[in-house]
Structure 1
Amino acid sequence: MSIYDVIPVTAEDHRRRARRRLPRFLFDYIEGGANDELTLAANSRDFQQLQFRQRVMRDVSTVDTACELLGFQSSAPMVIAPVGMTGMYARRGEVQAARAAKAAGLPFTLSTMSICPLEEVQAATQTPFWFQLYMIRDREFVQRLLQRAKAAGCTTLVFTVDLPLPGMRLRDFRNGMLGGGLPGKLSQLAQLVSSPLWALDVGIKGKPHNFGNLKEKIADPDDLDLYKAFIDSQFDPSCTWDDIRWLRDQWQGKLLVKGVQEVDDARAAVDAGADAVLVSNHGARQLDSVASSISKLPAVVAAVGSEVEVYVDGGVRSGLDVVKARCLGATGVFLGRAWVYALASRGQQGVEQLLGLFQKEIATAMALMGVNQLDDLNPELLETAISRGNPG
């Protein structure tokens, strides 16, 4: 039996299946980072260097992973992160993922760049969810998106601040997804031909493939080149914290600012009216050679954690990583690549299975560390792999 034929259990299992199933340009889009992908490697590596202190002979008969995340009563300290184009990874992928999150009792965040629009996700789940937004130049359109989000029952706005322009994601150039002209289009066609299961299930049965939240701005909703031209024209490198204050005035729900790593930026977000900050390097897809998110978390928690909720993302591949983040002060963890791998691998069923695994890993780790409540997790329960060193 091949390693690819095993029943997928972990995020890595689903990743292998996704790699076989997806056209290369789609797999690379979710897998890759910016430039040489040094930060991408650091995001996972720095989680691996954190080790637990195991505590024994404690009464751990009442382990509870439930918590409140920006008013959402969650079964675990996890949020389904916004990921663009997930409707290309499984048929109506955002709907499948939102249903999986509902079944798991976790918040789901819809991306501005989703294939399925706000209204489709709301109709499919009948459950409040969160909405991610970029600051685009057309402020009237921003206001309409906010109105649509409110009408769809969105309770929390996740506003991304680390994308004044896209990072240098070189994989997307190599596989023809960005630029490349005719050779790039021919390369993508060859990749589609080599992925027949995806082509039938998603490529044909999963239509329409337009960006549902943006289609009112596009003359021909089926022309992806028009979408790209619109999106490229809407990145706003002039955006400042004053724009966040303006946004705060427009949005009456919870506001989470996504994409801060430095203490002064976290403080500025709080001063601008944020209810929470997300320590994030955009999955290592923006500026390469910045620090991992988990390494930046403690300083941000120390600076603003007494005033607002602090979240983290980047490199999370298991429930153990979630526990490590909680030990370092995170209110919760945003899951990105892991759930998309599971979605591409086995659809809603795959996402539900993976989220269930993470929840079991969290509960098991807590019990073996001698704690029953998430609030009992603290930095004293961690050590770094390099701190112990070797005896002299």
Structure 2
Amino acid sequence: MDLDLTHPALSDLRARAKKRLPKFAFEYLDSATGRELGAKTNRDALDAIQFMPQILHGLIEADLETTFMGQHFAAPFGVAPLGMSGMIWPGAERLLAQAAVRHNIPFSQSTVAVASPEDTGPHVGDNGWYQHYPVKDGEIRRDMIRRIKEAGFTKLVVTVDVPGESRRERQRRALISMPPVLNLPTLWTMALHPTWCWKMLPEGPPRMRFMDDYIQAKGKDAFVHAGRVIRGWPDWDYIRRVREEWDGDLLVKGVMVPEDAVNLVKEGVDGIWVSNHSARQFEASPASITQLPKIRAALGPDVPIVFDSGVIGGLDICRALAWGADFVMLGRGWHYAVAAFGARGIDHFNHILRADMQSNMSQIGCTKLDQLASRLVEPIPA
């Protein structure tokens, strides 16, 4: 099967993933919060960014290689952290980490992944970033940071835009519990997806292994889990403490306000991650892409900026780079891909992103990533 003919776009991978996943797994991956207007806001804002086509440039061979925070990568995109990744597809964290090395792109693992840092660290080489949800116990935080470092992850990404649980109504209608609880509806949807079940057997039941090492949470609400029980409420002092305890590159994810970005850099943060959590937490946020140029203007040209939220293809990556990002991360797309075709799906999605970027850059006469901004139809907003 030639996937470039049968599944040339992310929408094709999503459709196949939906067929192969139990309902609770797909709804967890695919949903936003509220009426999902925030996801539409992200999409509409990205679609509004246009480039002017350029002609008579001869052969265009776009160079996608980039250096980010001192490390060379084959492309300016990577795998964003996504909770319970190994529930969406068995062994997803390991498969994505291995693919990150294969394609020389970064892989970010979530605190609430199914795999622990020790599970994934041996597979990700120097390309591992670790996403950290703040915890209220300093002793636990220090031990987590120690384990992340010893597992070989090179960057710590502190996510600060989850002060409380989002309701995510679609997930509740799908009777999702975190981690999944075996009840009649869950067993029924699992029975309808035998491939997922068969591949899950050697992995064991999906659970938050890293968090479960510190606490076994119980509660009536199916959304009460270890993350909620030990979660902290991050403040500026928390960032200062993490900066003292982590001696590698430190990024903060979930930044939407220029003043916050400036103050984070003053506190010693090495990189800013502009994101509205892909509208999974808060529906009324502005599109993260609209805040990106404001944050770039406030920080100047030298502070590394990562962008995510609503990105579905190479053209969106070009848009974010043109508007001030140095690097772009995607979460859902990689997971549609691994659910659709396993490791082969990850490789294919990497190909889709690269081919889409190169195709669009040829249309606007760009051979280098730093030329993208000059091809915008409208100037970058101040």
1:145 is paired with a residue of what secondary structure? helix
Distance 1:177 1:61, change over 3 A: closer
Match of 2:142 in 1: 143
- How high is the TM-score relative to the length of structure 1? 0.89
Distance 1:169 1:244, change over 3 A: same
Q: 1:197 aligns with which of 195, 198, 206?
A: 195
CA shift for structure 1 position 93: 0.9
Is 1:212 aligned to 2:190, yes or no? Answer: no
1:36 is paired with a residue of what secondary structure? coil
Which structure 2 segments of 5+ residues have no match? none
Aligned residues of 1:34 and 1:169 also touching (Cα < 8 A): yes
Aligned residues of 1:241 and 1:268 also touching (Cα < 8 A): no
Match of 1:129 in 2: 128
Match of 1:42 in 2: 41
Q: How does 1:277-356 map to 2 (within 5 A)?
A: 277-356=272-351
Q: Which amino acid aligns with 1:285?
A: R
- How high is the TM-score relative to the length of structure 2? 0.91
CA shift for structure 1 position 63: 2.6
CA shift for structure 1 position 190: 2.4
2:334 is paired with a residue of what secondary structure? helix
Aligned residues of 1:101 and 1:107 also touching (Cα < 8 A): yes
Cα separation, 2, equivalents of 1:163 and 1:220: 19
Q: Which amino acid aligns with 1:195?
A: H
CA shift for structure 1 position 159: 0.8
Distance 1:379 1:296, change over 3 A: farther
CA shift for structure 1 position 286: 0.9
Match of 1:389 in 2: none
Match of 2:360 in 1: 365
CA shift for structure 1 position 47: 1.5
Aligned residues of 1:327 and 1:378 also touching (Cα < 8 A): yes
Cα separation, 2, equivalents of 1:248 and 1:334: 23
Match of 2:159 in 1: 160
Q: How big is each residue's C-alpha offset from its partner over 1:314-372, in whole Å with a ceiling of 9 and x where there is no partner?
A: 11111111011111111011111111110111111101111122112212222221121
Distance 1:74 1:185, change over 3 A: same
Cα-Cα RMSD: 2.7
Runs of 4+ in structure 1 deviating by more than 6 angstroms, as ranges, are: none
Cα separation, 1, equivalents of 2:58 and 2:271: 33
Cα separation, 1, equivalents of 2:135 and 2:14: 32
Cα separation, 2, equivalents of 1:211 and 1:383: 45
Tell which deviates more after alignment, 335-344 or 355-364: 355-364
Tell which deviates more after alignment, 271-280 or 371-380: 371-380
Q: How big is each residue's C-alpha offset from its partner over 1:132-181, in whole Å with a ceiling of 9 and x where there is no partner?
A: 001111221111111111112211111101011121211121111149x9
1:334 is paired with a residue of what secondary structure? strand
Which structure 1 segments of 5+ residues have no match? 385-392
Distance 1:328 1:382, change over 3 A: farther
